[in-house]
Structure 1
């Protein structure tokens, strides 16, 4: 237990250093005009009123308009507090990479540093770790003590299941969230049949997709017929790693997933960020928040 606490203290020290780097870089870039890096749309539906000249036609409430003799638009009120959910895939496919730098390790670090950043901005932060089931959940709250609770939960969670079910994880979160929130979904997205759930998440919330990968998944050496161990199914299969068909299939699978996610996020106004285990992810996170702040400032 003592070793665990010491490891968590070291991790916290590392994450605080990263968090400070993010905040300083964004503040410098915006020359002091620093809005919360987690600021979402921050609005909820309030009422409807008659359309006035200059109103955005996208705000028209067509249901209310169809019932009356005038055109009505939706009005909104600003939310004072932002809720941020960290949603981390901890299935066995995440256990790829160098020791201490596997996809799951990078995912936990990203969750930790963003939790600290969000807490500093007085946001409420919640956590869901999932495989094909809920592995860990922490209700949203504020304060540094709560951030420590989340980071401890991240570090100590030992998944019960090895499998992935993105659809189940997303559905679980959709069922418990009561108001519009920022959702940071971190996964390698090695799964199928989750697009409709992801679409619902993007429609109802401010979605940030962080796509993790490792070079071992796409840069396989040509070693002839070799055994490959599938961590999720716990089975070993034999493949011809020198086969051009096998190599192209592997490359197209991962390239296709990346392209599909990028297109999805562009279409549904979600943010997309690709991070490999060998990357320095801090500059990528900084750039993501610069873009988010620039868009929200001009909105």
Structure 2
């Protein structure tokens, strides 16, 4: 498997060719061989092989049926042995929340966080339709929301890819604009409306706009759906940089000179990030939500090869 960036990727802009590139790599993460999610946890094999099984009906026991599937309640009620019949889990909607707000338009080494996120979103989209699931998205640039209703076959990923390219281009064009951004509430509210019960929801963001008021919406979504969180990180946010000069930095609200030659300064940056990450992990742990992270300093496929 190639560990390189897509051939047309420059780390800053997004292109159709760059995102379609991930279609050819879906085979590496299709069950039963591997699961993308167990891979993100550093396990090489999925603990749950294949797709899940849904309960379909109860019928009278026949020779050869698995005795573990006997329905003892129905058996006791009717006086005849009955067994549960299962069928393969039907297609489920997979809905992506994609954060293209200004803090995601940042990268200190290989690529912008938003570009890494788009690569991951593309890969998840192609894997989903390969598994006969429907794929949809809510694209949030901090000011406007774009909805892509869940669609199966390649039409779903292609729609999402085109909307990501458009959204990313708009966000880059607005850099330097001081217009304030909304919290994640509007995007999460939209998810509660867009997602049918039983959806798999994947939240991709750096979560800098996540505040305490948002946790209510996450709780609501988590009641009837399965949520996965992927935090997109840049090494500079963890104080990791070889740069030792003084630089004017901005968080779109205020500007500040930072001396990167100071070890204390780098440690303060790291501590602030660690606190933020720990609160996000705690939220996920309390809700039994799958948490993982990706870093913008190495190609996606290299991080997933684990």
Indicate whether the TM-score tops 0.5: yes
CA distance in 2, matches of 1:151, 1:266: 31
Alignment of 1:140 onto 2:164? no
Deviation at 1:213, TM superposition (A): 0.5
Deviation at 1:252, TM superposition (A): 1.3
Which residue of 172, 184, 188 corresponds with 1:166? Answer: 184
Which residue of 23, 30, 50 corresponds with 1:35? Answer: 50
| Cα-Cα RMSD | 3.5
CA deviations on 1:83-131 (whole Å, 9 max, x unpaired) are 1001111011111115872100010111111101001111111111113
Equivalent runs, 1:201-280 vs 2, <5 Å = 201-218=221-238, 219-220=240-241, 223=244, 226-230=247-251, 232-233=252-253, 235-241=254-260, 246-280=265-299
Distance 1:54 1:153, change over 3 A: same
1:65 aligned partner: none
Which residue of 185, 188, 197 corresponds with 2:203? Answer: 185
CA distance in 1, matches of 2:72, 2:260: 62
2:193 aligned partner: 175
2:17 aligned partner: 9
1:23 aligned partner: 30
Is the CA contact (8 Å cut-off) linking 1:131 and 1:165 kept in structure 2? no
Deviation at 1:190, TM superposition (A): 1.1
SS at match of 1:180: coil
CA deviations on 1:176-221 (whole Å, 9 max, x unpaired) are 3342211000001113333333233223320000001011222256
Specify every segment of 5 or more residues in structure 1 that has no aligned partner in the other structure, as ranges. 44-52, 56-76, 288-299
SS at match of 2:197: coil
CA distance in 2, matches of 1:140, 1:173: 12
Alignment of 1:105 onto 2:115? yes
CA distance in 2, matches of 1:131, 1:90: 4
Count of residues in Structure 1 that have an aligned counterpart in Structure 2: 245
Is the CA contact (8 Å cut-off) linking 1:115 and 1:147 kept in structure 2? yes
Distance 1:201 1:244, change over 3 A: farther
